Amino acid sequence: MEYKATQDTFGAFLTECTVVVPKVKTKVGDLFTVWRDWCERTGERPGRTQDFSSSLEEHDITLQTYQGAKYVLDLGIVVNAGQVSDQEEWEVGEVR
């Protein structure tokens, strides 16, 4: 997964707070909470959830809806250096 080459605020957040993890799905709401906390620490404005989802898509991140909830595929949340938050694993080819 490649992020835009230009330095941008959202790209900096993705680099600092997320990690590519195959077969992981993360709720967009959980990722938005991390984004909001990151914005608070860095003095940025988080904006609306809809804008956040658009920013994910603009950075070539796959979103999927399953049982009324939006998920990001193959992207985990970094909790501490070397650790990834508990996200759900899904089988290759499984549609959620």
Q: Judge contact between 28 and 56, C-beta under 8 A.
A: yes
| CATH number 1.10.10.10 given to 9-80 | yes
Q: Which H helix or E strand runs over 53?
A: helix 49-58
Among the listed residues 37, 34, 29, the one whose alpha carbon sits nearest the alpha carbon of residue 65 = 29
- Mean pLDDT, the chain, as a whole number? 82
What is the reported pLDDT for 46?
Answer: 93
Cβ of 63: how many Cβ atoms within 10 Å? 13
Domain ranges for the chain = 9-80
Q: What is the pLDDT of residues 13-67, one digit of tens each?
A: 999 999 999 999 999 999 999 999 999 999 999 999 999 999 999 999 999 999 9
